[in-house]
Amino acid sequence: MNFAAVLFDLDGTLIDSYRAIAASVNHVRQGRGLPPLTVDEVKRHVGRGPEHLLRHTSPGGDLARDLAAYRAHHPAVLEALTELLPEAARTITRLHGAGLRVGLCSNKPRLFSGKLLEHFGLARCFDVVLGPEDVDRLKPAPDMLQLAVQRLALTPDRVLYVGDMTVDIETARAAGVTAWIVPTGSDARETLAAARPDRLLAGLQEVADGVLKRDV
Catalytic residues: 9
Relative to beta strand 199-200, strand 178-181 is parallel
121: left (phi over 0), alpha (psi -120 to 50) or beta: left
Please state, as a whole number, how many other Cβ atoms lie within 10 Å of the Cβ of residue 72. Answer: 12
| Closest residue by Cα to residue 167 from 181, 177, 151 | 181
| Closest residue by Cα to residue 58 from 75, 82, 41, 40 | 41
